[in-house]
A and B are shown apart, each in its own frame.
Chain A
Amino acid sequence: MLQEPFSVGNSFLHRTDPRFRLVSALLYSIVVAVLYGFFSLIASAVFSLALVRAAGLDGKTVLKRLALVNGFVLLFLLILPLTAGGDIFFSIGFLHIYQPGVVLALQIALKSNAIIMAFIALVSTMNFSTLGHALNSLGLPHKFVFLFILTYRYIFVIEQEYKKIWRSIKIRGFSPKTTLHCYKTYAYMIGMIFVKASARAERVYRAMRCRGFNGSFYTLAEFPSSGKNWLFLFFMLFSTFLIILMELYFYG
């Protein structure tokens, strides 16, 4: 059920220092999120696509992800052109397609996909423990990073408990329906997951205390500094800057 299909790979993006990738992904996404001009939006979508290609990811898996995420965007694509008001683009019978709605919907679709593709290429290409360590060395609070890494660990514990209880419910002939009994069963299942998982969390914490855990979080991961990383960051900043220039020139 839970997989990180993009984190495995050997492209230069996978090898770049995760901290540089995180920072450049953050800056790039923020810039793309505030774009309006079509020229710059299309440019950023193409650039993000190039990043996905550079990461050497399986095209099919990426497309599947994008399709899932685009559900929400589809809502806007369907509704905005019909309801936005303003100039009528064209009419089909009593349906009026409004031009501002079409423009807005297209902007949203381009922006959304550009940001998500960049995220897949730059951030999803690292696994969680790497990301946790990167967040740690970027100066996020220790407690936050500790919570982050423990949560990641417990997701699999909770998923296991859930599957176990679900199997035993199934064996006893449970079939999901819209009834109070069914909701009660789900509620008790969730309650039981909490009880079991917190017992397990308690044991893990005690074991950690026994091994000298004192609340601070150390990491063994070291990120060797290399010129390539700075080159990568420069390249990303330069591309982001070009997109800003395009926006200002054609739209601003």
Chain B
Amino acid sequence: MHISEGILTWPVLASGAAFAIAGTGIGLKKLKTEDIPKTAILSAAFFVASLIHVPIGPSSVHLILNGIVGILLGWAAFPAIMVALSLQALFFQYGGITTLGVNTMLMALPAVLCHFFFHPLILRNNQFLSLAAGFSGGAFSVFLSGILMAAFLVFAQREFLEVSLLVIGVHIPVMIIEGIITMFCIGFLKKVQPSLMGG
């Protein structure tokens, strides 16, 4: 999920870039050198997730996974997502130089929030609670990304309102799927390798 080049206006692009740089700065500061390999793994997984298509009815959607990345990384999600998005721009020309900041913001901000809201709940021993937090984390991060994307578009140009509403609408089924996948994935990781969950 990303906004292409040439659509937004300069105030939106500039503020997106400023916030993304600030977030990445905080993330890098908190990121210890020995944690960089683990962060790179999640960053690469975030990149590859966009190539994995999950069926929904007759169609399919690709995974986003910013929820899981956020839950596992916290602030480090900012540099991780920025790196993954730069690589996507290089490999596929999705997104690009001028929109890198905006796109990082709309994926990484929900990811970090997701970490603060749901990570403590996921670590609890109550299985129901941690699965529910997993589902909410996955769904919330995609939903918030959709809302942010719509907001950026409308801030840029009021005429984009209809497109923005369409964007939010499209994200609703994706949100549910991400929720389910995040829930099962978190449950799986808690059973198989709890050390990955941190905390």
Contacts and interface: CB of A to CB of B under 8 A. Distances in A.
A159 B41 CA distance: 11
Nearest to B57: A178
Nearest to B40: A150
Given A176-B54, A178-B55, A193 B45 contact: yes
Contacts of B41: 154, 158, 194, 197-198, 201
Given A147-B36, A155-B87, A190-B185, A115 B98 contact: yes
Contacts of B54: 176, 182-183, 186
A187 B159 contact: no
Main secondary structure of the interface of A (DSSP, over half): helix
Given A33-B98, A183-B184, A195-B196, A151 B189 contact: no
Nearest to A191: B188
B117 to A, nearest CB: 20
Contacts of B8: 33
Contact of B181 (A147, A187, A202, A204): A187
B145 interface: no
A143 B33 contact: yes
Nearest to A166: B52
Contacts, number: 223
A120 B96 CA distance: 10
Interface string B59-86: 0100101001000000000011001101
A143 B37 contact: no
Contact of A69 (B9, B87, B94, B184): B94
Interface of B: 3-10, 13, 24, 28, 31, 33-34, 36-45, 47-49, 51-52, 54-57, 60, 63, 65, 68, 79-80, 83-84, 86-87, 89-94, 96-98, 157, 159-163, 166, 177, 180-185, 188-189, 192-193, 196
Given A147-B79, A187-B183, A198-B196, 20 more contacts: A1-B51, A29-B98, A65-B93, A75-B166, A80-B163, A83-B161, A83-B162, A120-B93, A124-B90, A128-B87, A143-B28, A151-B44, A151-B87, A152-B87, A178-B56, A183-B177, A186-B181, A187-B180, A191-B192, A205-B34
Interface of A: 1-4, 25-26, 29-30, 32-34, 65-66, 68-69, 72-73, 75-76, 79-80, 83-85, 100-101, 104, 107-116, 119-120, 123-124, 128, 131, 141, 143-144, 146-148, 150-155, 157-159, 162, 176-178, 180, 182-184, 186-188, 190-195, 197-198, 201-202, 204-205, 215
Of all A-B residue pairs in the complex, the 9 with the closest CB atoms, nearest first, are: A111-B6, A112-B6, A187-B184, A150-B40, A191-B188, A154-B44, A215-B33, A115-B5, A201-B37
